[in-house]
Structure 1
Amino acid sequence: MPKRIKILAASYLLFATGFAQADSQPVRIATEGAYPPYNYVTPDGGLAGFDVDIANALCAEMNLQCTLVKQDWDGIIPGLLAKKYDAIVASMAITPERQRKVAFTAKYEGGYSMLFGRTELVDSSPRALHGKTIAVQKGSIQEKFAKAYYEKQGVRVQRYPDTQTALMDLTAQRVDAVVLEVATIHEALKDHSLSGYHSFGEKYNDPAYFGNGSAIALRKEDQALLNRFNQALRAILANGTYKRINDKYFTYNQYE
């Protein structure tokens, strides 16, 4: 065998071996576990939701063994960069600030945000809410938006570790409204304790705050894994798997 062919063959064997070894290691995927219907903890302590089903479908498509890790939202990117896990599937919006830290796949969902509060509230403008208090999840795109749009115009903004705690304070009348993603509003309305509340005002989806859809986040150096996620995402969108998962949780197309 000519020397050049031997070198190429050896290189291919090394690549194939490394690829097989990589495939034998579980891919660790983080999600928040506190953002229903996207991700939440089940009564038996497991993780479930739209994000979890999407993650499992992608891993099956890639023929990879995956493990799910629960991680609080405000530490989810630092945990990725510290290599506590390999990817984040947690409805994370693609924003310029986050793109400076992590790499994103193509989007796997869209959406928008609105205010959710008592039924007598109908105007979401800062002028109408002057002196009132709105709740947001700490570290979220909703927090950044509320700080720029509301807080600077006399509306108090209260930060919470997760949306569920914010909704509890809404029912306790400690806050007047919560800035929520549309699917979270749909989920909240299933709770009888929130029957006297509704979404109101404008739909917020300014890319400067809310990004251009949500995607899977990975470390920038993990381009090979990112490419595999993108390939698998295209596959589940084309073969109907995405739609089946979508329809399990939503009455509309979450991808748009």
Structure 2
Amino acid sequence: MKKLIVAAGCALAMIAGTAHAKEWNEIRIAFDVPYEPFEYKTPEGELTGFEVELAEAMCEELKADCTFIIQAWDGMIPGLLARKFDAIMSSMSITPERAEAVLFSEPYYNTPGAWFAREDVNVDVTDESAMKGMTVGVQRGTTMDTYVTEKLSDVVNVKRYTTADDMVLDLEGQRLDLVFVDYPVGEQTILSREGFKQVGEPVKLGQGVGVAMRPRDKELAEKVNAALEKLKNDGTYDTIMDKYFSYDIKM
């Protein structure tokens, strides 16, 4: 199965043949990197992660020649609608607002958001008065951003980041008191480092994560749903999931 990693916006990513739009023999899938363990690059520069491997298996099932495109999170939906790629498979939570702009597949995983901090930070994250004046990091445009903004923006200082890595650097540098991220991301990028901890209990958010496609591409959505269902039923999904998680994230 052919895999190409290209920068978003290049000429190859901009061009899609009309015939392919009907039969979907070729599919361009966008990922925001790094977002470990879902999508990231190995030290050798290879694109990998749970969603990357799931996308590879999905493309194999669809007998489609897939191109993998790296796209910054802020440009995901605009890039999809501008036909720079055909699908987003990058931990995009299904929300009513996004569903007005894109067509989602059935959800293929759901993980909670969680609070993380340095070990010397002690705070009850369920007590707004205890959090007053703290600086909280979130990744811009995520459901975690929405949650903190709607519930705590009048209590805490919200600092938004383009990548999870940048957020972790500021947490290490004590420019943040807390971060609120996908639990698996926090587990991989924060708890794996010395001097950090999870604070409080995880928080279930939204309706799960789906593959995002253009509203007109209903045939593609049907194919994607069928392929993901097959991967869940034949054990492929579980095999990939078990490589990255010690718990069940399947919807």
Measured against aligned partners, the alpha-carbon deviations of 1:99-141 in whole angstroms (never above 9, x if no partner) come to 0000000111011111100233241132211111010011111
Deviation at 1:61, TM superposition (A): 0.6
Alignment match, 1:29: 29
Deviation at 1:46, TM superposition (A): 3.0
Whether 1:166 and 2:167 are equivalent positions in the alignment is yes
1:96-107 to 2 correspondences below 5 Å: 96-107=96-107
Measured against aligned partners, the alpha-carbon deviations of 1:180-219 in whole angstroms (never above 9, x if no partner) come to 1111122124633xx21111124222xxxx3201010000
Deviation at 1:220, TM superposition (A): 0.5
Whether 1:45 and 2:40 are equivalent positions in the alignment is no
Deviation at 1:33, TM superposition (A): 1.3
Alignment match, 1:56: 56
Measured against aligned partners, the alpha-carbon deviations of 1:163-193 in whole angstroms (never above 9, x if no partner) come to 110010001000001001111122124633x
- Report the identity percentage: 37
Change (3 A) 1:121 1:221: same
Q: Distance between the aligned counterparts of 1:97 and 1:32, measured in 2?
A: 20
Q: Distance between the aligned counterparts of 1:176 and 1:38, measured in 2?
A: 25
Q: Distance between the aligned counterparts of 2:41 and 2:79, measured in 1?
A: 19
Unaligned runs of 5+ in 2: 1-18
Return structure 1 stretches of 4+ with deviation > 4 angstroms: 18-21
1:44-123 to 2 correspondences below 5 Å: 44-119=44-119, 120-123=121-124
Alignment match, 2:128: 126
Letter in 1 for 2:231: I
Change (3 A) 1:64 1:129: same
Indicate the larger mover: 163-172 or 120-129. Answer: 120-129
Q: Distance between the aligned counterparts of 1:113 and 1:133, measured in 2?
A: 17
Structure number with the higher helix fraction is 1
Change (3 A) 1:204 1:88: same
Instruction: With the length of structure 2 as denominator, give the TM-score of the two structures.
Output: 0.87
Q: Distance between the aligned counterparts of 2:24 and 2:215, measured in 1?
A: 19
- SS of 2:57's partner is helix
Instruction: With the length of structure 1 as denominator, give the TM-score of the two structures.
Output: 0.86
Instruction: State whether residues 170 and 177 of structure 1, in contact with CA within 8 Å, keep that contact through their aligned partners in structure 2.
Output: yes
Letter in 2 for 1:68: F
Instruction: State whether residues 191 and 198 of structure 2, in contact with CA within 8 Å, keep that contact through their aligned partners in structure 1.
Output: no
Alignment match, 2:232: 237
| Bigger Rg, structure 1 or 2 | 1
- SS of 1:107's partner is coil
Letter in 2 for 1:185: G
Deviation at 1:20, TM superposition (A): 10
Change (3 A) 1:250 1:228: same
Unaligned runs of 5+ in 1: 1-17
Alignment match, 2:198: 199
Change (3 A) 1:67 1:171: same
